[in-house]
Amino acid sequence: FKRLLKVSTQLDDEIYSNKKQQQICIADEQRLKRDASVQDIKSVIQTMIDSVKSDVQVSVYVLFVTKEDARKILQAVKLISITHRPVLIASDAWGKESSVVIQGDTDEIAVGALTLELISIQPVNFDRYFNALKPDTDKEYDEEYLEDQVNPNEKYMLPRNPWFNEFWEHRFGCRLYSGDECREHQLNETNWDSKLQFIVDATYVFAQALHMYFNCTTSTCYNVSLNSINGTKLFKLILEKPFSMPDFRQIQFNSERFVPGHYRIYNYRRSDSSSSSSSLDTNASPYEYVSVGEWKVGRNETGQLNLAIDSIVWPSTNIHNPSSKIIPISRCSEPCRVGEVKQFQGDSCCWVCTLCNDTSIVVGAEKQERCEPCSIGYWPTVNRTACYKLDETYIELFTVQAMVPISLSIIGNLLTLFVVIVFYQKRTTPIVKASGKELCFIMLAGIHLCYSMTLPILLKPHIITCIIQRVGIGLGFAMMYAALLTKTNCIARIFASTKKQGRLRPQYISPNSQLFICTCLIMVQVLLSLLWLAYEHPYVDYIIDDRLVILKCQMNKHSFLFSLTYNVLLVLICTMYAIRTRKVPENFNETKFIGFTCYTTCILWLAFLPIYFTAYETSRHQIHITTLCVTISLCATVALACLFTPKVYIILVHPEKNMRLAKQLKAQVSSFKFTSHLPVSKNFISNDQMTNYDISSSDGQSKSVVSNDAEEQYHLLVSASKTVSFKTLPDDSKIINDKPKQKIPTIITTSDAEDCLNNEKQTLKLKKYPYEDNDSLNSNSLQGEDIMI
């Protein structure tokens, strides 16, 4: 019983003082005076009932009282209006004394009571000795009794007992000094008290201790003087030595100075034979004490309880049926379930059950329970008392979720390597030079890095692979889109300069300048990745899901997207430049492919973001990883296909389109100089002067345009591509002196050391000038040397 009411007298102070050590749970305690009346006890019990909270279910009373007080308690309980009969648990003072229960009065209140009684045996020859006692205490022992006990030659006087005469008068209801009739009675006791054995045992222990103290022989003691006894020495002797009893039992005190006791447990209930015996014996009680168990101390001084619970008859709440087989409940808190710990409130009897989380176990003693989480990678057992290691799970390389991204990665890396080889071997050809080979190789390195990110993402998470993921993904995108942005920006600035008045040559369009700009853009991403590593240290995260340990690199989804914001910005700027340069001349149709790359990349990112967020949960971890790998590979594939496939196709399939055509210039003009911006004097071109322009595009096709208008000729030259050869028609040439001065940009380009063309009238020579490797307008600039024609 977890919750008890306790009624006690001042006799049990020592027992109650050790209640905490014995883990006794008490709801309330009240003490009774030694001479307490029934009304006093009634008030005490009523106070105890009123002090108990309404939500506390108390139905057990423990009585450490004398049998007289126990009788009064039964009478007091009967006087109190209670809704249910309590279970009474009494100490050995009650035992199985029939005098405690008043027949016809308190017997129904006592039904279901559990009482304790010390297990004892009948002392040898004690009944013979006791029944021979007489009131004349100065007489000798009965000779018949002394024959087997003492030496007949010695006289032994009956020890004086000041209460024996009083007992005699009470037992026979007479007065010793009123006549001889009272002395003629004879004791014939057979129903001995259960504690008689312990009185006899104590007498034997004390006698044998004195015998040892004075070193007596079997028949004689020498130098016996009661005044010379040292009480401390005698007490120590009693505690240390074993003593033999007449029935061959051994008595020895334990470390706590007690002789271990054996108790028999009785259940007070209606006798099964009460109905049949009542008709024969009207004085027979219909109730009896039935033994239902024992408690004894073993050799290791550990108490052992043997209790036949099914044999116990409990008090019933039914007035007409005072007994029941239903075990009553007496507690203020329900037992905690598996996985819950007790949080005690106030005393040690009431608690609140607190549920531990799914990854914790219950540890500690009953009153010191606590939730203790299992280590990472472990899970509680069913009874929540221990942890066991969980199986680790991650994407394995030979599953479908891994084979698809790996296949894309391998194919993409092989194609990238193929393009690198082709571009390196054909690095001196016009189409490679015109594409800006430095930026192309940076872009190809970024594409390769994006394809290579698949393996670190799919491998078993480790601190090194986590760092590679954080740096490599952003760096691969930055290398692709930084190079692409540098190229589109250069093209846009060149053609924007042709629309400005003065038409000055744009700055920072040389390969070295473009390479520097691209490197700076890439270093921004590197710096952002390092800051991310410093702010959120990478580590392997163990996520428990459905009793599985999912290993993944700790990567906050918001932080990951924030790290890609810079690359998204690069793509958006590239898209803006692609839109602005969509109407450049046909020879610069690379801007069209750049536009396709940017548009497709934006669509991929828009499709990727929702899948990434929705699949970030642990239950979709494999989908999340697979989606990330495939998206990165697709972005690299788009750049590789749109920007490099057309060039590789021309280089390998149509090599004739990757050659320079001979530039022929036939003119009958005076000598003049080409500078960065060619001045046209007023005697150079007139409306009467028909000029034929042969315009060659990068795909090898040529077209001829004839015009006699200087302004129209200028725009034709501006919109021309790599090579322009022109000739005047000398037959109809005239000089108009009032034509305003014009400026024609330098369009004629060549990489040859010397281009010569003989004419019937004169030889025109092109003097070599410094030029950049790229022949297209977006990367060419004249450095100021004169070209003599």
Q: Which of 48-62, 93-107, 120-134, 295-309 has the least mean pLDDT?
A: 48-62
Contacts 24+ apart (CB under 8 A), 165-173: 165/135, 165/137, 168/135
Does the pLDDT at position 309 exceed 50?
A: yes
Is 663 inside a domain boundary?
Answer: no
- Encode pLDDT of 45-55 as tens digits: 888 877 766 65
| Helix (H/G/I), strand (E/B), else coil: 589 | coil
* 24 and 141 fall within a common domain: no
Give the residue among 506, 485, 482 at the shortest CA–CA distance from 494.
Answer: 506
Is 535 inside a domain boundary?
Answer: yes
The predicted pLDDT at position 25 comes to 67
| Paired sense of beta strands 4-9 and 60-64, if any | parallel
Cα separation, 192 vs 121, whole angstroms: 10
Q: What is the mean pLDDT of the chain?
A: 73
Give the residue among 97, 112, 27, 25 at the shortest CA–CA distance from 65.
Answer: 97
Angle (deg, nearest 10), helices 437-452 and 621-653: 150
CA angle 284, 289, 291 (to 5 degrees): 145
- Encode pLDDT of 109-119 as tens digits: 888 899 998 88
Higher per-residue confidence, 107 vs 789: 107
Q: Is the Cβ–Cβ distance between 87 and 112 less than 8 Å?
A: yes
**744 — pLDDT class (breaks 50, 70, 90):** very low
**In the listed set 599, 627, 658, which residue is the last one of a domain according to the structure?**
658
| CATH number reported for the structural domain that contains residue 44 in this entry | 3.40.50.2300
For residue 256, CA distances in Å to 239, 266, 296, 632 come to 10, 27, 16, 79
Cα separation, 484 vs 442, whole angstroms: 10
* 214 and 297 fall within a common domain: no
Is 665 inside a domain boundary?
Answer: no
Is 664 inside a domain boundary?
Answer: no
Token pair belonging to 386: 């221990």
| CATH number reported for the structural domain that contains residue 539 in this entry | 1.20.1070.10
* 466 and 443 fall within a common domain: yes
Based on the structure, what is the number of domains in the chain?
6
* 293 and 206 fall within a common domain: no
Higher per-residue confidence, 681 vs 609: 609
* Domain residue limits at 741: 673-788
Give the residue among 360, 286, 291, 333 at the shortest CA–CA distance from 101.
Answer: 286
**17 — pLDDT class (breaks 50, 70, 90):** low
Number of Cβ within a 10 Å radius of residue 453: 24
* 182 and 268 fall within a common domain: no
**Phi/psi at 557 (nearest 5 deg)?**
-65, -35
297 bridge partner residues: 303
The predicted pLDDT at position 516 comes to 92
| Helix (H/G/I), strand (E/B), else coil: 758 | strand
* 640 and 545 fall within a common domain: yes
Q: Is the Cβ–Cβ distance between 708 and 647 less than 8 Å?
A: no
* 761 and 774 fall within a common domain: yes
Q: Is the Cβ–Cβ distance between 652 and 715 less than 8 Å?
A: no
Is 329 inside a domain boundary?
Answer: no
The predicted pLDDT at position 294 comes to 92
**445 — pLDDT class (breaks 50, 70, 90):** very high
* 412 and 445 fall within a common domain: yes
* 131 and 111 fall within a common domain: no
Higher per-residue confidence, 546 vs 532: 532
Is 335 inside a domain boundary?
Answer: no
- Encode pLDDT of 198-240 as tens digits: 888 898 999 899 888 888 877 777 777 777 888 899 999 999 9
* 460 and 589 fall within a common domain: yes
**In the listed set 192, 221, 236, which residue is the last one of a domain according to the structure?**
192
The predicted pLDDT at position 320 comes to 58
Cα separation, 583 vs 496, whole angstroms: 12
Number of Cβ within a 10 Å radius of residue 616: 17
Report the chain's terminal Cα–Cα distance, integer Å: 120
* 687 and 780 fall within a common domain: yes
Cα separation, 456 vs 467, whole angstroms: 9
Contacts of 84 (CB under 8 A, 6+ apart): 59, 315, 317, 328
* 135 and 188 fall within a common domain: yes
Does the pLDDT at position 29 exceed 80?
A: no
Q: Which of 66-70, 297-301, 544-548 has the least mean pLDDT?
A: 297-301
164: left (phi over 0), alpha (psi -120 to 50) or beta: alpha
Is 666 inside a domain boundary?
Answer: no
Higher per-residue confidence, 738 vs 355: 355
What is the residue-wise DSSP string for 198-265?
HHHHHHHHHHHHHHHHTT--SS---S--GGG--HHHHHHHHHHS-EE-TTS-EE---TTS-PPP-EEE
Cα separation, 1 vs 213, whole angstroms: 47
Cα separation, 44 vs 31, whole angstroms: 8
Residue environment code for 513-522, b if the CB has 16+ CB neighbours within 10 A, otherwise e = ebbebbeebb
**In the listed set 192, 215, 236, which residue is the last one of a domain according to the structure?**
192
Is 267 inside a domain boundary?
Answer: yes
